[in-house]
Amino acid sequence: MKEIPLFPYDIFTPDAVRNARAVDDEVREFAPAVRLHDGTVMIARHEHVTSGLLDWKSFSSASRPWHDPNSPRPEILLTDDPPRHTQVRKVVQDALSPRALERTKAVFEAAAQEFVDELRAREGEAVDAVGEITQAYIFRVLPDVLGLPQEGRHHMHGFSQMVWATMGPPGELFDEAMAHDFSAVIEWLGTACDRDAIDPEGIGAEIFRAADRGQVTMDEAKLLLQTILSAGADTTYLTMANAIRAWALFPDQYAKLRANPKLLRNAFDESLRWDSPSRMAGRIATCDVQIDDLVVPAGTRCGLMFAAANRDPRYWAEPERYDIERDNKHSLGWGYGVHGCVGRTLAQTEASAFLGTLVREVAGFEIAGDYEPWMTTVGHGPMKQPVRLRFG
């Protein structure tokens, strides 16, 4: 067996994050597994990332790279293995089941129509696909569905930054993020997600009713509500913004989608594969794990690289092409295995309502300015992408 090769540079510097797609692809092509300067091992090929995500006993979530138990972000689910993970996950699954979300469809759809009607007045203008479209929609409607109070919702953006900016390793971007005063965000989270503050008819109240049944503690219920608030927002609005970006870059695919709107869910899944909003998932090897002719030693902290695996030419034909008819059954955009995205149904409900309304109302999109990346080490996607909308 050969020694895992050292990757020649830091993949988390500002320059590397600005060019994350190319950097992550370089990691994938360098070797089946690579070692970073801090000893973390990155695994980026589709075959190996898939098997790593499925094998939670060998790749445990209990001690991820760069994990700080004192982090200000909610710490639950991502840092558990079965059986505890299974018990806690069921609480969220029940609260976000298709049946439970059925009654929220009308709320999402009405808000989507209202929002797109507002956009119609800006036809032909350069509009930011993130801050003025997808993020704005999610931040408007998701807290309503969860039952959060109106006061303090402007902290949603700060919450996104707090969660994702503190996931990666120490360095320039991490230090820059930690220099921000998150105290107001943390105070808002603490009060807005209190049981007494939320609407008893909202999804959040279901989490607390699980605590009444003894499935989780009251403190854990509050953490789970905060986790859903993050998971239902950030990756969803980034993926929807990427969908809009893809529709502008691949107008033939958008025309095909408008002709057959039943392809919308697959178009959303393809956006998730084409430019995944999370670069990686963190794990720790609990035993020696063989990756081709390399061995990851027990005790090694690892990154399983979703985004690079979702563009692996060993698995995907023309991976850089956005194709709404692609078979995405084995895309890793939703994760895989026991830690597969527990909020998938919620995200799909949000996307079906909003993107479905856009597809029905907007005849075409065009790029109207430069893409600006989200400058966090692990979260990935556009923080700004100006587009023009043509209605009809």
- 350-385 confidence digits (pLDDT tens): 999 999 999 999 999 999 999 999 999 999 999 999
* pLDDT band, residue 187 (cuts 50/70/90): very high
Q: Which residue has the higher pLDDT, 175 or 215?
A: 215
Does residue 134 lie within any of the structural domains? Answer: yes
Query: Using one digit for the tens of pLDDT, what is the confidence trace for 43-69?
Result: 999 999 999 999 999 999 888 788 766
- Please, what is the average pLDDT of the chain? 92
Amino acid code (one letter) for 219 = D
Structure confidence at residue 72 (pLDDT): 60
| pLDDT tens by residue, 268-288 | 999 999 999 999 999 999 999
CATH number of the domain to which 32 belongs? 1.10.630.10
Mean pLDDT of 257-269: 97
Domain annotation covers residue 88: yes
Task: Tell me what pLDDT residue 158 has.
Answer: 86
Please tell me the predicted confidence (pLDDT) of residue 73.
59
Dist CA 117 CA 100 (whole Å): 28
Q: Rounded distance, CA 347 to CA 345, Å?
A: 5
Tell me if residue 165 falls in helix, strand or coil.
helix
> Residue 74: pLDDT above 70?
no
Tell me whether the omega of the peptide bond preceding residue 83 falls within 30 degrees of 0, making it cis.
yes
Partnered with residue 285 across adjacent β-strands are 59
Are 81 and 286 in contact by the 8 Å Cβ rule? The answer is: no
Question: In this predicted structure, what is the pLDDT of residue 77?
Answer: 59
Burial of residue 295 (CB within 10 Å: 0-12, 13-18, 19+) is middle
Q: 336 or 191, which is more confident?
A: 191
> Which CA distances in Å does 268 have to 18, 52, 77, 296, 352?
24, 25, 25, 34, 9
The DSSP line for 341-366 is -TTHHHHHHHHHHHHHHHHHHEEEEE
Is the residue at 7 inside a domain? no
294 pLDDT exceeds 90? Answer: yes
pLDDT range class, residue 85, cuts 50, 70, 90: confident
User: Does residue 113 or residue 170 have the better pLDDT?
Assistant: 113
3-state secondary structure of 210: helix
- Give the mean model confidence (pLDDT) for residues 61-87: 72
User: Judging by DSSP bridges, how do beta strands 301-304 and 41-43 pair with one another?
Assistant: parallel
In the chain, % of residues over pLDDT 90: 71
* Range 139-166 average pLDDT: 89
pLDDT at 64: 78
State how many domains the chain has: 1
The predicted model gives 343-347 an average pLDDT of 88
State the pLDDT at residue 75. 62
Average pLDDT for 162-185:
83
Average pLDDT over residues 24-34: 98
276: nearest Cα among 164, 138, 157, 379:
379
Q: What is the extent of the structural domain holding 199? A: 14-391
Most confident of 59-63, 88-92, 311-315: 311-315
- Is residue 6 in a domain? no
Q: What does the pLDDT read at residue 176?
A: 82
Q: What is the pLDDT of residue 78?
A: 66
Per-residue pLDDT band for 71 (boundaries 50, 70, 90) equals low
pLDDT band of 336, cuts 50, 70, 90: confident
Report yes or no on 9 lying in a domain: no
**Residue 84, in any domain of the structure:** yes
Q: How far apart are CA 283 and CA 67, in angstroms?
A: 10
Q: Higher pLDDT residue, 220 or 79?
A: 220
